[in-house]
């Protein structure tokens, strides 16, 4: 590596799903048709009520900096969302608006991690988590989890992997890439472990709202000491607006706000005013209709993939993904994904994007495209494997 560049770059891996998406778009530009099941981005456009709220804010001249923690109206709206959807009283002062969930991850890395310290997280899991820690000279301490764990981290396993330099635990529910949730009991046990170890608990809840067969409880119903990351990208369908939020214990907020002032100055003003409409009754009805469509896509794709020999032991309760074993196909994840994309027009994500444990034996399917396109992908797969 060029010696002008920082050593940490060697430890920050490419986000392969973006590379797959880029290649699929190159093939499309050359006239090749691909079914896109690689990116975790809902295919629906942002709901009209949200777009119209953004336009109205521009017409009002709302184009200046906002407070670093976000406009008060949006922090209050999110507080009300927790009250109506979860029955929780979360003070608006505990809610920080961030530039996507990624902005919240950066703030938490800066808040909690000293050089040489780390946090436990699942392997497989969302890859950027460990890279944010590396940015502040920390480490993601990967804990292998498999189907027998429902791909989630138990308190028992977390205690087994806890190290002297471990500062806490980061989990996601529903999880990427597996769609599995943590029950209230599991969340309580993780919280109790962190309390006993004097560590912090971070729960990524960005797929809340996209849970289908069972509720995804919030850690906020158990404790006010945990940190919660959420986003307007997934359930609310605002990926390109780059807006998220972070719920933190009261004593952490001044430190988070100080960093936000330095790192971001403020979030997108237009996106914040647009997001106020995300909680309107009309908007929520449409978002719930879309959620039902995602469930229908999952219910079509899951049995179809199983029939073709992909190993999916559990029906995932949430998110947008099926994490599938590929042992039957006698190849690696990377090779399978490359072959499917280049030769058969099917874009999926290799397991190597999500960690190391059994990564070469898994791929991720995202049901973020229409049912007609999923049916086309299954037809192409049946020609190969049926």
Tell me the pLDDT tens digit for each residue of 53-83.
Answer: 999 999 999 999 999 999 999 999 999 999 9
Average pLDDT, the chain: 95
Contacts of residue 264, Cβ cutoff 8 Å, sequence gap at least 6: 68, 98, 99, 103
Tell me which residue has tokens 């808040």.
Answer: 111
In 3D, which of 213, 214, 112 has the Cα closest to residue 167?
A: 112
Distance, CA of 279 to CA of 73 (rounded, Å): 12
The pLDDT score that the predictor gives to residue 297 is 98
Element (H, E) at 171: strand 166-172
Order of strands, sheet of 362-366, starting from the edge strand that comes earlier in the sequence: 321-325, 362-366, 349-350
The pLDDT score that the predictor gives to residue 2 is 77
Distance, CA of 171 to CA of 174 (rounded, Å): 9
In 3D, which of 322, 357, 362, 359 has the Cα closest to residue 145?
A: 357
At 86 the three-state DSSP class reads helix
Give the start-to-end residue ranges of the domains of the chain. Answer: 7-45+283-385, 63-280
Domain 7-45+283-385 has CATH 3.40.50.970: no
Tell me the pLDDT tens digit for each residue of 151-208.
Answer: 999 999 999 999 999 999 999 999 999 999 999 999 999 999 999 999 999 999 999 9
Mean pLDDT of 257-276: 97
In 3D, which of 263, 242, 271 has the Cα closest to residue 99?
A: 242
pLDDT-based confidence at residue 40 (cuts at 50, 70, 90): confident
pLDDT-based confidence at residue 3 (cuts at 50, 70, 90): confident
The pLDDT score that the predictor gives to residue 313 is 93
Domain 63-280 has CATH 3.40.640.10: yes
In 3D, which of 372, 377, 308 has the Cα closest to residue 348?
A: 377
Tell me the pLDDT tens digit for each residue of 276-323.
Answer: 999 999 999 999 999 999 999 999 999 999 999 999 999 999 999 999
Do 302 and 282 contact (CB within 8 A), yes or no?
Answer: no
What is this structure's pTM? 0.95
């Amino acid at each position: 590596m060029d010696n002008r560049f920082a050593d940490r770059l060697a430890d920050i891996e490419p986000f392969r799903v973006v590379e797959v998406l880029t290649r699929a778009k190159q093939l499309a530009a050359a006239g090749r048709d691909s079914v896109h099941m690689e990116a975790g981005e809902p295919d629906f456009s942002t709901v009209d009520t949200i777009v119209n709220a953004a336009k109205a804010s521009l017409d009002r001249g709302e184009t200046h900096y906002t407070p670093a923690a976000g406009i008060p109206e949006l922090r209050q709206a999110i507080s009300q969302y927790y009250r109506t959807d979860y029955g929780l009283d979360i003070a608006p002062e505990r809610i920080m608006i961030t530039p996507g969930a990624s902005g919240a991850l950066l703030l938490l890395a800066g808040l909690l991690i000293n050089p040489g310290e780390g946090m436990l997280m699942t392997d497989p899991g969302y890859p950027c988590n460990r890279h944010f820690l590396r940015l502040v000279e920390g480490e993601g301490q990967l804990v292998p989890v498999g189907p027998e764990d429902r791909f989630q981290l138990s308190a028992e396993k977390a205690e087994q992997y806890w190290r002297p330099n471990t500062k806490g635990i980061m989990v996601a529910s529903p999880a990427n890439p597996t769609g599995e949730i943590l029950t209230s009991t599991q969340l309580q046990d993780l919280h109790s472990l962190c309390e006993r170890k004097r560590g912090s608990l971070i729960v990524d809840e960005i797929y809340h709202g996209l849970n289908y067969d069972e509720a995804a409880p919030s850690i906020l119903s158990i404790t006010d000491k945990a940190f919660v990351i959420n986003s307007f990208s997934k359930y609310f369908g605002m990926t390109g607006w780059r807006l998220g939020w972070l719920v933190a214990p009261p004593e952490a907020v001044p430190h988070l706000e100080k960093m936000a002032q330095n790192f971001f100055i403020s979030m997108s003003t237009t996106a914040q005013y647009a997001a106020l409409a995300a909680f309107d009754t009309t908007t929520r009805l449409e978002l719930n209709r879309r959620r039902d469509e995602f469930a229908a896509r999952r219910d079509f794709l899951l049995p179809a993939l199983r029939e073709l020999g992909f190993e999916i032991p559990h029906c995932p309760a949430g998110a947008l993904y099926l994490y599938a074993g590929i042992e039957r196909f006698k190849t690696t994840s990377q090779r399978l994904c490359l072959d499917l994309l280049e030769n058969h027009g099917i874009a999926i994500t290799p397991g190597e994007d999500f960690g190391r444990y059994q990564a070469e034996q898994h791929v991720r399917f995202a049901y973020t495209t229409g049912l007609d396109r999923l049916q086309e992908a299954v037809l192409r797969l049946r020609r190969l494997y049926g």
